[in-house]
Structure 1
Amino acid sequence: MRLPPPFPDELLLGRLIRHVTASGESAGALAQRLFGSARTSIHPFLTAGLTRLAESSREDAEVLLNRQTLVPLFLFYLPSHAERLQALVLGDDGAKALRESQIPSFGSGHSVCLKWCPQCAQHDLQEYGVTYWHRTHQIPGVTACYKHPVLLQRVELEGRQRVIAGLLPTCNGYPRPASGIESRVAVFSQNLLTNLGEGRLQIDLGTIYRYRLNELGYITSGGRVRRQSLLRRFALEVEQYRPCPDAPLLRSQDDYRYISELLEPGGSHHPFRHLLFETWLFHEADKMLGYRPSQAKPVLAESRTGESHGLEQRCLKLLKEGRSMAEVYRLTGKSRCYLKRLATQHGVPLNLKPRALTSELQQRIIRMAKSGMHREAISKRCGIGIGSVEQVISSEPGLVAWRKRCHWESKRRRCRARITRYRQRHPDVIRKVIKEECNAEFFWLYGNDREWLQQALPPPKAAVGRARPL
């Protein structure tokens, strides 16, 4: 069986739709012959079973994958899932391929749609005599046409069967203008997808993001990201992007996590988040793919275990040399609170003014903390701030865990006593009444000490039904 030859940038599902439209063959019969089951549900842009389909249509499965689906985009942005995703798409398990693409995890797997541009449809009708579905229009989150500065129209595919005869783009409708950022993201996405269709690329995105941000002045000399200024500028740039179900945008002006997660090495994020950030950061896909940093050494992430340990040892060395905390702060960038806690943990003496928190007072605080006394009470007795008390407690190994355990045991004793006393006062009470009258204690014990609760409660009574009238 031969499918209609593909038009430029045509979606594979669109070719199947054109086939059933022109040939009159039912979608179920086509799915039975190509995929072995009439109930096969074909995903619009992550079509699976490509090896079998290529053999039936005498085409190359790699060409179908790289130039008629959006799989290359997911292989590029999800390198840890790439090998398995490609194998599943070439195979026959579309459900597993969809899960491997992480779309359901991103919260974008519930709505399946097809998008088109009315002006592109009009051009295709004049040029080829028929409209067809463009692959680039289907990129999740993209809302504008890469050729025309207008918004895409969309149709939801609610049924299981997506190969619907006659389901082709229309030229009807008034085109709505797209914003500048929407058009730029569409052009960037189209250029990137075209490059990815030529062959699989592997790029450490987190590293090149940091290189580029460093060139723009958003990385400090210590390798930290200036998140506030970066997010303000980025949010201002993308605020005109219209929200849609498959476009994960910034939640607020303070959504620092949106940026921080993209800079983490090996992260798994929605492709649109990368496309939006890269459009702002590089402006052009060719520039991003061919990016070569100007500096010799990469800007490392601040959350590296080895680097943190080395910085800690350097701080300790400087403190043991008798340097002042102000000087150590200037040399390392670590705060006074961090330096005080580090010195206390390792027994390094500090010459501080005022000298209220002496070693004798620290031992007294530790003794009161071990007895279970509240931080505020310790603060009042010792005449120092609560923050200083918390610092001493956290610097003592195992003390925080011990206090948490004591508080948990105290809570359990209070809840047990409440249930026990209530049962003593009401010996004939049933479980339902205990749950209503001792609600907080009942549910705390149910979640933390269920075995004791079941033994302490009265035995359940058998339900008594109504007598039926004769």
Structure 2
Amino acid sequence: MINFFPILYKDELLFSAISRYKQMCGIISNQALERELFNKIRQKLVFFPIHLDALISNLPPNSKITVEEIIKFHSMAPFYTSFLSSEKTKEIYSAMTKGNKSNVERIAGIGGSRVKSGDRLRYCPLCFKYDLNENGISYWRRLHQIPGVLYCPKHKVLLKDSKVIITDYWSEYYCADEDTCNSKLKDDNFPARIRELNMRYIENVCDLLYGNTKRKELSFIISFYIDKLRERGLASQGGTIYMEKLVENFLHFYPLDYLELMQSEVNTEQEANWLRIFVRYNNKNRSPLRHLLFLQFLEIDVVEFFNTKKVIGKQTTDKKRTPLYKIEEKRNEWLKLINDNPHANRSELKRIGKGLHTWIYKYDREWYNQVTPRSKTRKKRADVIDWEKRDEECLELAKNAVGELYQTEGKPKRISPLNIRKIIGVKRWFNHQKLVKTRQFIKEITEDIDSYRIRKIEWAIKEMKKDGELLTAYKIQRKVGFDGGDTHIKELIMKVLSKYERFEN
């Protein structure tokens, strides 16, 4: 049993409090620290602390800290379990209490998720400055570590990467102090729309972290989404989602750069992109970040979603209806209509006897087909499309569109099938399999993501040189609008920057 333990600040990660305890006690060895607190050397998860029952048993007798308090207010569990069922949430809480790290990762779907946390702890420079002035030391806030949170909601400034690298298991216990953080503000070059979207996202994140929301089953969640899509005209009355329309509206709502920052780019050429899979009834892992993105697109806040009691979702009609009128009576009426209009075809008869036609066609279709005359004159068949000619025309349009994309002023746009079609003003028919040359050209000209990033980096360097700015990797990254936590992006920037420096020398 230990003699004391630091008071936990509001929204402080347990990892942060343990780091402060280590510094206060002057403990050098992480192994000694963990034996003292947890009775064992453990693989520590920075965001999901485990062996919490052992920790609580080792705290001083007068300590009021509980396992439930740590999980709910000092770990990331409320965020990652918010869209899981009550049963799975309880499993994760149990694993954190007893120390089963593999269960936490597996159930929460962290390992296989495409949405990753950053590789460093993040902080707000103004929160850091305030903490130092008030308490002499700062701490690691869990809100700042949530994927997709770009700003501090209190000070409305961009979060920064600290010097503390987190690799899930063997992270060092470092405090948020002047050795790992500083109060210098980060340049904010994001457009107003991105700031606005992210601040709304952060509001919903806060509702997940601090609200006492009841968990919903996945089937309920998907049914809720279908209901809301139906209200917006993006799904049929039966619940069939108009997928092309949904993707189009989603990409109109969110700028591509923002989706890239949120690790949620939608590849429209991929049949199984995350958005298409997201709104279907299946057991695929879904990141809380993407749930919040989708709710924000639907203009639904988290509180409204969790307060919803009933949903409809997909509807199937199996019930057989019994005709209200005798079939013989209706047959006689239909025969009289045919006799009274001897030259009318089926379409004209349908118009003349609108309600009667609907009834007969629904309940007595076989007889209807036997007695109802068909049109004797066929419509003139449409001219056959000359696909070779159309292919040449479309190829020319595609080439012109690519040229226009390359000549776009300002930040470069990616050469992609979607952007090419947007410039031309056409939809997915432009990808028809008979447009062989056009499809081949678009396939060859399409930029992979790294080529596009390099082009954006080169653009940023040219703009900064034109303005006489000092070229640094950090400034280039902010000019382009890349997320600071991606090491691959930083490597690309350094590669391009070194090429320019060699060329100038």
Unaligned runs of 5+ residues in structure 1 are 312-320, 332-342, 355-470
> Could you tell me how far 1:266 is from its partner in structure 2?
5.9
8 A Cα contact 2:78 2:209, kept in partner:
yes
1:397 maps to what in 2?
A: none
Relative distance call for 1:236 and 1:171 in structure 2 (3 A) is farther
What is the 5 A alignment of 1:281-296? 281-291=298-308
1:46 maps to what in 2?
A: 48
> Could you tell me how far 1:46 is from its partner in structure 2?
1.3
1:222 maps to what in 2?
A: 238
8 A Cα contact 1:115 1:154, kept in partner:
yes
What is the 5 A alignment of 1:333-372? none
Number of residues paired by the alignment? 323
> Could you tell me how far 1:277 is from its partner in structure 2?
1.2
Say yes or no: does 1:63 pair with 2:69: yes
Equivalent of residue 205 in structure 1, options 221, 228, 231:
221
Relative distance call for 1:166 and 1:111 in structure 2 (3 A) is closer
Relative distance call for 1:35 and 1:112 in structure 2 (3 A) is farther
Alpha-carbon separation, structure 2, partners of 1:104 and 1:45 = 13
Alpha-carbon separation, structure 2, partners of 1:290 and 1:310 = 32
Relative distance call for 1:202 and 1:78 in structure 2 (3 A) is closer
Deviations along 1:167-207, one digit per CA (max 9) or x if unpaired, are 54623433233522122212211122110xx4653363222
1:30 maps to what in 2?
A: 33
Relative distance call for 1:66 and 1:166 in structure 2 (3 A) is closer
> What code does the residue aligned with 2:265 have?
L
> Could you tell me how far 1:54 is from its partner in structure 2?
2.0
8 A Cα contact 1:74 1:82, kept in partner:
no
My pick for the range that moved more, 221-230 or 133-142, is 221-230
8 A Cα contact 1:231 1:254, kept in partner:
no
2:266 maps to what in 1?
A: 251
8 A Cα contact 1:191 1:285, kept in partner:
yes
2:161 aligned counterpart, secondary structure = strand
Please give the TM-score of this superposition, normalised by the length of structure 1: 0.58
What is the 5 A alignment of 1:5-404? 5-25=7-27, 26-38=29-41, 40-57=42-59, 58=63, 59-79=65-85, 81-108=88-115, 112-155=119-162, 156-158=165-167, 160-168=169-177, 170-177=181-188, 179-195=195-211, 198=212, 200-202=214-216, 204-239=220-255, 240-241=257-258, 243=260, 247-253=262-268, 257-265=273-281, 267=283, 268-291=285-308, 298-301=311-314, 307=316
Alpha-carbon separation, structure 2, partners of 1:3 and 1:353 = 89
Relative distance call for 1:274 and 1:67 in structure 2 (3 A) is same
Alpha-carbon separation, structure 2, partners of 1:173 and 1:61 = 36
> Could you tell me how far 1:63 is from its partner in structure 2?
0.8
> Could you tell me how far 1:18 is from its partner in structure 2?
1.3
> Could you tell me how far 1:104 is from its partner in structure 2?
0.9
CA RMSD of aligned residues (A): 4.2
8 A Cα contact 2:78 2:208, kept in partner:
no
1:76 aligned counterpart, secondary structure = coil
Alpha-carbon separation, structure 2, partners of 1:288 and 1:123 = 35
> What code does the residue aligned with 1:233 have?
N
> What code does the residue aligned with 1:122 have?
K
> What code does the residue aligned with 1:174 have?
L
> What code does the residue aligned with 2:106 have?
R
8 A Cα contact 2:157 2:185, kept in partner:
no
8 A Cα contact 2:45 2:169, kept in partner:
no
Relative distance call for 1:68 and 1:264 in structure 2 (3 A) is same
Alpha-carbon separation, structure 2, partners of 1:206 and 1:160 = 34
Unaligned runs of 5+ residues in structure 2 are 321-330, 332-344, 356-365, 377-505
> Could you tell me how far 1:147 is from its partner in structure 2?
2.4
1:77 aligned counterpart, secondary structure = coil
Relative distance call for 1:107 and 1:121 in structure 2 (3 A) is same
> What code does the residue aligned with 1:241 have?
Y
Alpha-carbon separation, structure 1, partners of 2:94 and 2:205 = 24
Alpha-carbon separation, structure 1, partners of 2:43 and 2:121 = 15
> What code does the residue aligned with 1:173 have?
K
Relative distance call for 1:158 and 1:76 in structure 2 (3 A) is closer
Relative distance call for 1:85 and 1:258 in structure 2 (3 A) is same
> What code does the residue aligned with 2:160 have?
Q
Alpha-carbon separation, structure 1, partners of 2:72 and 2:213 = 8
Relative distance call for 1:50 and 1:199 in structure 2 (3 A) is farther
> Could you tell me how far 1:352 is from its partner in structure 2?
9.3
Deviations along 1:188-230, one digit per CA (max 9) or x if unpaired, are 11122110xx465336322222232233332222322233332
2:407 maps to what in 1?
A: none
> Could you tell me how far 1:270 is from its partner in structure 2?
1.3
> What code does the residue aligned with 1:243 have?
E
My pick for the range that moved more, 250-259 or 128-137, is 250-259
Deviations along 1:116-160, one digit per CA (max 9) or x if unpaired, are 122222232233332111111122333332323333222432485
Structure 1 segments (4+ residues) deviating >4 Å: 108-112, 253-257, 308-311, 324-327, 351-354
> What code does the residue aligned with 2:215 have?
L
> Could you tell me how far 1:284 is from its partner in structure 2?
3.1
Deviations along 1:317-344, one digit per CA (max 9) or x if unpaired, are xxxx9xx9999xx99xxxxxxxxxxx9x
> What code does the residue aligned with 1:250 have?
E
8 A Cα contact 2:116 2:147, kept in partner:
no
1:154 aligned counterpart, secondary structure = strand
> What code does the residue aligned with 1:103 have?
I
Bigger radius of gyration: 1
Alpha-carbon separation, structure 2, partners of 1:262 and 1:189 = 19
2:294 aligned counterpart, secondary structure = helix
Deviations along 1:100-120, one digit per CA (max 9) or x if unpaired, are 321111145696432212222
Deviations along 1:349-382, one digit per CA (max 9) or x if unpaired, are xx9999xxxxxxxxxxxxxxxxxxxxxxxxxxxx
